[in-house]
Structure formats: structure tokens, C-alpha cells
């Protein structure tokens, strides 16, 4: 680790601690050249797949966008933040366990719909009505019958 003060490349770790959750490692370091101390943090890098949109463009997976779309569908519904977080966690785990480097936006939408159907049927219908772009009322009726 390079010293942020003098740029020297040789630093010594004097103390290492894990966070309470165990997802971050904090290290106190001392520069061998200027003798100044500083702290570094280590976190696991999670490689989520790129999202391939309908028009073929690619975008980084954005948990914020996913949370916003689910929150919009769940607006004014009796669903806790913890339930939303758990659903987002399940989606993220599916993406990570798949090992895919890319995921079509349609497949990501299906994951969201499955989670919404599980936690709130009204939110599921709201999301599906926008996501599937129904052409007529009969398609909408069929979705509600399927629930």
C-alpha cells in the first residue's frame, strides 16, 4: 500500500480489525519512510452482471434504480422497508449465483415481478401493468386471473 503522505511504497500494518458485520476489514498502517500513520478499509468487490436493455445498449446494474422501481410499485402499500430490502437481497443473490456477465432487462424485470408477487399482489399488478405494456383490458384481466 502506497503512503498517501509521501508516496513511499512500503507501509507496515500495525493493527487489523473486522467490522461488527464482518464485511469490512480496517487496517492501521505506518509508513516506513515518513513514519506517518493512516487507515485503509477492505471490502469485497461484488461483480454484478451488466444489464442489456431492449435496444441492445448495456448499462451497469444499479441497485438504486431497482429499489426505486419496486418502491414506486409498493407506494402506499403495507410493506416494510425490511421486506423490500430482503426482496432486493434475493434478486442480487440470484444474479450473483447465476455467474452471468450480462442479464437481459426483461429477465431482471421477471425477477422483480416474482418478488413483488411474493410480497404484495397489488404492487405486482402495478409493476406488471407498466412493465408488460398491456395493449388492452383483456390482457390485464388475464394477469389478475393468474394471481
| Residues of the chain falling short of pLDDT 70 | 133-136, 140
| pLDDT for 140 | 66
| pLDDT for 28 | 96
| pLDDT for 46 | 75
* pTM for this prediction: 0.64
| pLDDT for 109 | 92
What lies within 8 Å, CB to CB, of 113 at 6+ separation is 124, 127, 128, 131
Q: Rounded to 5 degrees, what angle do the CA atoms 53, 131, 141 make? A: 150
What lies within 8 Å, CB to CB, of 37 at 6+ separation is 14, 28, 29, 30, 31
List beta partners, residue 58.
Answer: 52
Amino acid at each position: 500500500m502506497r503512503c498517501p503522505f509521501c508516496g513511499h511504497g512500503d507501509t507496515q500494518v500495525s493493527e487489523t480489525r473486522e467490522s461488527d458485520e464482518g464485511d469490512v476489514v480496517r487496517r492501521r498502517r505506518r509508513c516506513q519512510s515518513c513514519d506517518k500513520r493512516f487507515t485503509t478499509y477492505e471490502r469485497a468487490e461484488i461483480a454484478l452482471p451488466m444489464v442489456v436493455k431492449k435496444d441492445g445498449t448495456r448499462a451497469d446494474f444499479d441497485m438504486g434504480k431497482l429499489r426505486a422501481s419496486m418502491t414506486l410499485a409498493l407506494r402506499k402499500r403495507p410493506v416494510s422497508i425490511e421486506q423490500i430490502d430482503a426482496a432486493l437481497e434475493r434478486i442480487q443473490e440470484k444474479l450473483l449465483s447465476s455467474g452471468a456477465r450480462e442479464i437481459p432487462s426483461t429477465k431482471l424485470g421477471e425477477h422483480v415481478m416474482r418478488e413483488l408477487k411474493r410480497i404484495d399482489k397489488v404492487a405486482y399488478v402495478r409493476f406488471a401493468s407498466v412493465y408488460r405494456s398491456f395493449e388492452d383490458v383483456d390482457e390485464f384481466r388475464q394477469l389478475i386471473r393468474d394471481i
